[in-house]
Amino acid sequence: MSAALSDWYPEEEAARRMGMSTRTLRRMSARKVGPERRLRPRDGRKPEPVYNPQDVDKRASVQTPPYVVNVHYIRVSPLESEAGK
């Protein structure tokens, strides 16, 4: 295993640090807008996707926390014609 890749974050850790799901992180990586991604070899197993810690930490520091959008529901009264039924 490369010494450089041993310090890189596994997918779950990178997603947690950036405050997003692993699926979102994979989508960002596929569109080339996320942190640098490489595959770390593992003996007898598929390579593990890992992410550059400098990119992850930089993006995590500018990541805004999730926010809640208030949605106001308008109560609509029935039409007068239907009210008489």
The 3-state DSSP class for residue 41 equals: strand
Q: Is residue 47 part of a domain?
A: yes
| Terminal-residue alpha carbon distance, the chain | 77
> How do residues 42-85 score in pLDDT, each as one tens digit?
999 999 999 999 999 998 877 666 666 666 666 666 665 555 55
Rounded distance, CA 34 to CA 25, Å? 7
Structural domain of 52: 3-62
Q: Is residue 16 part of a domain?
A: yes
Chain-centre distance for alpha carbon 31: 13
Q: Is residue 75 part of a domain?
A: no
Q: Is residue 76 part of a domain?
A: no
Q: Is residue 29 part of a domain?
A: yes
pLDDT of 39 strictly over 90:
yes
Q: Is residue 24 part of a domain?
A: yes
pLDDT of residue 11: 96
H or E stretch covering 81: helix 80-83
Q: Is residue 77 part of a domain?
A: no
